[in-house]
Amino acid sequence: MINQPPISQEALIAENIARVRARIAESAQRVGRAPQDVTLVAVSKTKPLDYVKIAYNLGIRDFGENRVQEALEKRAAFCPSDLHWHMIGHLQTNKAQKVFGSFSCIHSIDSLHVAEALQRAAEKKSQAAPMDMRQPVLLQVNVSGEASKEGMTPEETPAIARQILAFSHLDVQGLMTVAPLVDDPETVRPVFRSLRQLRDRLRDEVGDVSWDQLSMGMTDDYAVAIEEGATIVRVGRAIFGERVKQ
Ligand SMILES: *Cc1c(COP(=O)(O)O)cnc(C)c1O
């Protein structure tokens, strides 16, 4: 038996990124969209910083984390000026002070309460040292209505959005959703379509901002999400491999 040299972590991640990028391009082209209109956020939660550095060296510039502590540690250790850290997990309001201004985008504004906490944290910071920074955020919507999922209901989103749009330190850029786990990604196509339709409604009825960003699609369903209009996909396992547990 011939011993094959072990495949390096770097070679694995490189292969994975190439595969994901090719699928993003295919899905976009299938519906007449430009592949570069889809931002790939590599979700590095639970994975070592070395993996982030490997992906960065392979051209990835957007990374997603779902826990504040882990995210801030990684960001403190590695933050080249062209790297964007995204917060994609539920926020506890007592972390608002630490979180405000630390991420290129917070995808997980899942209630008015969380938005208020960020606005208040910003006002406090501004009292200490005047600043007019506005934190880019997305509103997280629980489209499928699963009890286990974070997010506002589609029905309450327009009213909550109107209130959040009044917050001077938040820059609302669009919507985010997490689809249910299913075997066949076609099953969740209606979830992505509903988020896009809700976005269109917000543009018509709430306006004020462009509502351009749709953060939807993960390892199992990003191809379908892109066909339904995703502008940001959040992909973990297909890039960095399975997670042990969280
Ligand atoms: C973990 C996570 C992802 C990435 O999931 P994969 O299935 O590994 O691609 C995307 N979005 C959110 C909110 C997550 O928590």
Which residue, 178, 179, 165, is CA-closest to 137?
165
Domain-located, residue 221 = yes
Which of 23, 43, 222, when mutated, tests ligand 1's pocket best, judged by the most ligand atoms within 8 Å of its CB?
Answer: 43
> Is residue 159 predicted with pLDDT exceeding 70?
yes
* Dist. CA 46–CA 217, nearest whole Å: 19
Instruction: Report how many domains make up the chain.
Output: 1
Quote the tokens at residue 16. Answer: 């994975």
> Is residue 31 predicted with pLDDT exceeding 70?
yes
pLDDT category of residue 134 using cuts at 50, 70 and 90: very high
Contact yes or no for 45/70 (Cβ under 8 A): yes
Does ligand 1 lie within 6 Å of residue 66's CB atom? yes
Domain-located, residue 244 = no
Q: Which atom of ligand 1 is nearest to the CA of 43?
A: 4
* Residues near 190 by beta carbon (within 8 Å), at least 6 away in sequence: none
Domain-located, residue 2 = no
Q: Quick one: average pLDDT of 136-154? A: 95
> Phi and psi (nearest 5°) for 71?
-65, -45
pLDDT category of residue 116 using cuts at 50, 70 and 90: very high
Domain-located, residue 172 = yes
Q: Which atom of ligand 1 is nearest to the CA of 45?
A: 1
Residue nearest to atom 7 of ligand 1 (CA): 219
- H/E stretch holding 94 reads none
- Residue 41's Cβ-side half-sphere holds a number of Cα atoms within 13 Å equal to 27
Does ligand 1 lie within 6 Å of residue 202's CB atom? no
* Dist. CA 235–CA 63, nearest whole Å: 9
Domain-located, residue 133 = yes
Q: Quick one: average pLDDT of 80-100? A: 96
First-to-last alpha carbon distance for the chain, in angstroms, is: 38
Average pLDDT, rounded, for the chain:
95
In percent, the amount of the chain with pLDDT more than 90 equals 90
Q: Residue 41 is part of which domain span? A: 9-239
Contact yes or no for 96/113 (Cβ under 8 A): no
* Dist. CA 45–CA 82, nearest whole Å: 20
> Is residue 246 predicted with pLDDT exceeding 70?
no
Distance (angstroms) between ligand 1 centre and the Cα of 106 equals: 14
Does ligand 1 lie within 6 Å of residue 177's CB atom? no
> Is residue 72 predicted with pLDDT exceeding 90?
yes
* pTM, entire model: 0.95
Determine how β-strand 39-43 pairs with β-strand 232-235.
parallel
Q: Quick one: average pLDDT of 125-152? A: 93
Domain-located, residue 3 = no
pLDDT category of residue 245 using cuts at 50, 70 and 90: low
Does ligand 1 lie within 6 Å of residue 226's CB atom? no
> Is residue 147 predicted with pLDDT exceeding 90?
no
- pLDDT tens digits, 162-203: 999 999 999 999 999 999 999 999 999 999 999 999 999 999
Does ligand 1 lie within 6 Å of residue 235's CB atom? yes
Distance (angstroms) between ligand 1 centre and the Cα of 44 equals: 9
Residue nearest to atom 8 of ligand 1 (CA): 236
* pLDDT value of position 130: 85
Helices (H), 66-183: 68-77, 96-99, 112-128, 157-165
Domain-located, residue 4 = no
* pLDDT value of position 2: 66
Residue nearest to atom 6 of ligand 1 (CA): 236
Q: Quick one: average pLDDT of 91-95? A: 95
Buried b / exposed e across 44-55, counting CB within 10 Å, b at 16+? bbbbeeebbebb
Q: Which atom of ligand 1 is nearest to the CA of 176?
A: 13
What's the chain's Rg over C-alpha atoms? 18
Residue corresponding to tokens 């979700």: 43
CATH number of the domain to which 218 belongs:
3.20.20.10
C-alpha angle with apex 150: 137 to 236, nearest 5 degrees? Answer: 70
Domain-located, residue 189 = yes
Q: Which atom of ligand 1 is nearest to the CA of 222?
A: 9
* pLDDT value of position 37: 97
Does ligand 1 lie within 6 Å of residue 106's CB atom? no
Which residue, 203, 121, 125, 216, is CA-closest to 165?
203
- H/E stretch holding 50 reads helix 49-57
* pLDDT value of position 60: 98
pLDDT category of residue 1 using cuts at 50, 70 and 90: low
Q: Which atom of ligand 1 is nearest to the CA of 234?
A: 10
